[in-house]
Structure formats: C-alpha cells, structure tokens
Amino acid sequence: MAYKNLLITGANGCVGQYLVDWFLKNTKFRLYLMVRDKSKLPISVQENKKVKLMVCDIRESNRYKKEISQINYLIHTATAWGDPKRAYEVNIKAFEELLKMLDIEKLEKIIYFSTASILDTQTELMRESLIYGTEYIQTKYECFQRLRESSFAEKTFAVFPTLVFGGNLGKKSKYPVSYLTSGLKEIGKWLWLARFLKLDSKFHFIHANDIAQICGFLIKNHKEEQYKGFRKYVLGQKFISIDDAIITLLKRNNMRRFFAIPLTKKILKILLRILPIQTTPWDNFSIKKYDFNHVPITNPETFKLKSHAKSLNDILRLSKLPSCNNN
C-alpha cells in the first residue's frame, strides 16, 4: 500500500508541532517537515521513521524540489512578520514558488494558514486590512487573493485562526509556547487595574490542539462533496468580551470588583490623544472597529468533534498560569 505524503511548513512552530503530533498519532502519512532549525523539534520526531526533515528557509525550498513534487497534501503554516521585505519574500513569493514545485495531478489538498485580521464580521475580505494593516496582514491579504485566483484554488482550504493559545508556562512544556500564552505571564501585573475597567469589545480564541484536530479532519475527509472547492474557515470558539475575560481572571484569582468604569470607543479615542502612547494605523483602525467577532466560526464541534479548550477557563488551566496573590 502506498502511503500518502504530507508536507508541513513551519513545522517547528507552536501550531506546527501540534499538527505533527496529531498526524503521527492519527494517520500513516509520511510527514515531510520543513524547518529552519531541526533542534526545535523533539528528538522523538526527528528520529521517527515516518518523518523526513527538510531543513531550510522556505525561500530555499527548491533544494527539495524532487521531494516536493511527490507531495499529496500541503499544510502551509510558515510565515514572517516584522520586516516588510522578508514578509513579502516569505508570505507571498516563497509560497508561490513552493506551489510551482508541486505536481497538481498528485496534489489532493492544501490547507493554507492566513489570519482572521483580513476578514470582516461576515468572513469576507476587509479592504481596510490592506490599507491600515501591518506588513504581515497586508502580505496575507495579497497572498490570499492570489491563491483564490490560482489553479490551486479548488484544492485549497484557507484557515483563519483567531487568537491562538498553545503550550504551557511550566518548565517542561511539550510544545512551543504561543505568543498569547506567553503573554499570560504578565497578566498578574495589570489585573489589579483591569478590574476597575469595563470593555465589551468581543473576540474569539482557539487552542493549537483544536487547530490540529480541524486540519486533520479536513485532510482525512477532503473527498466528501461538501469539502470540495475553495473554502474558508475562521477558527475560534464562540466570542467572549474583554470584560468576560477580566471577570474570569478575577474569579480565578479570588479578586473582587467593586466598580468598573465603561471604556467606550469614544473614551478610548480621547485617552489615546492625551496619553503618551504611540499607535499604528492598524491600532487606530482596530479601536474604531472595536469588535472582532465573525460569522460563521469554526471549531471542532462544527465537525462533531470535541474541543480540547472550549472556554477561557480551559485555556488558563492548560496554560498552567499561576494564580495571583493580590486581594
């Protein structure tokens, strides 16, 4: 029996390692893992007989042109931000060069990772993302447009994660810690102040384990009629407000809230004018937009699976966030 070949780019990142773990446990696929630094992968993965490492920057992927031409499934998570030139080279140019090396006759499905920041409430492209967005957001917007119009569109699932949590704050986290989970360490410093503020801005979140579940389902069930064609999935749990999050954290830390000052969009704009805070055009647009909720939203329950982290309490428990001692 010929086993299928799955290529995962960015395989040593937080989401990437959850994906690797899921496919090793739940499939017989041969995994081709594109990584810049193989030392970030667990030894057990590096030495697994089902794994072939492709150690390179994605901009150098032509070094593995022969292997790429044999790929049946591609999950593309590799990305770049911070530098406009590098963001364009990685997020657009290198990805398109990678697509050219694939054999479209052998290729069965692509899962392309974008960002929910380029979509509006109804999950349509939001033009303001291209106007005000960071270089990361702008390049993701442009790449998505190009992919949608390419010959690979009918074989593509585009996934748009919302706020991603993963790994934990313990000394021996099995997985890399996501940027947001890492940021939870600072929460105790500001919770004493946050409890006096009320902000109803809405947002979604999702755990990397649940992202892996969804991607696994889409790959394994891609031949079913309802999963054919170019599809978009915004990945997240049901939205909560920032105030809901504050209340959850207060309860977890046995802290009381005696009163809360509502922070409306108008008040936020005034504060930004009078406080010595530098903001980007995207920051200003985000404040104006206020809510970051989407319809429809996709989570494991969408496919009759069970979420690893369905609530914020689940996220906090899995992150191993220590409690504050403030009263």
Q: In percent, how much of the chain has pLDDT > 70?
A: 94
pLDDT of residue 327: 44
Q: Grade residue 303 by pLDDT with cuts at 50, 70 and 90.
A: very high
Q: Grade residue 186 by pLDDT with cuts at 50, 70 and 90.
A: confident
Q: What is the mean pLDDT of residues 94-103?
A: 98
Q: Is the pLDDT of residue 16 over 70?
A: yes
Q: Which amino acid is at 197?
A: L
In a domain, 273, yes or no: no
CB 215 within 8 A of CB 235: no
Tally of domains within the chain: 1
Q: Grade residue 2 by pLDDT with cuts at 50, 70 and 90.
A: low
In a domain, 325, yes or no: no
* CATH number of the domain bearing residue 228: 3.40.50.720
**Location of structure tokens 């044999």:** 70
- Mode of pairing for the β-strands spanning 5-9 and 202-203: unpaired
In the numeric block, which tokens belong to residue 65?
Answer: 């042109």
Q: What is the mean pLDDT of residues 273-297?
A: 82
pLDDT of residue 226: 65
**CA distance linking residue 145 with residue 147, whole number of Å:** 6
In a domain, 240, yes or no: no
Q: What is the mean pLDDT of residues 168-185?
A: 92
The region of weakest confidence among 225-229, 247-251, 265-269 is 225-229
* pLDDT higher at 315 or 287: 315
Global pTM reads: 0.93
pLDDT of residue 225: 59
Domain that holds residue 40: 5-164+205-235
CB 75 within 8 A of CB 6: yes
In a domain, 41, yes or no: yes
**CA distance linking residue 24 with residue 8, whole number of Å:** 12
In a domain, 245, yes or no: no
Tens-place pLDDT, residues 110-145 = 999 999 999 999 999 999 999 999 999 999 999 999
Mean model confidence pLDDT for the chain: 92
CB 37 within 8 A of CB 230: no
**Location of structure tokens 């755990």:** 207
In a domain, 189, yes or no: no
In a domain, 293, yes or no: no
pLDDT of residue 326: 47
pLDDT of residue 240: 95
In a domain, 318, yes or no: no
DSSP one-letter string for 210-272: HHHHHHHHHHHTTTSGGG-SSEEEEE-PSPEEHHHHHHHHHHHTT---S--EE--HHHHHHHH
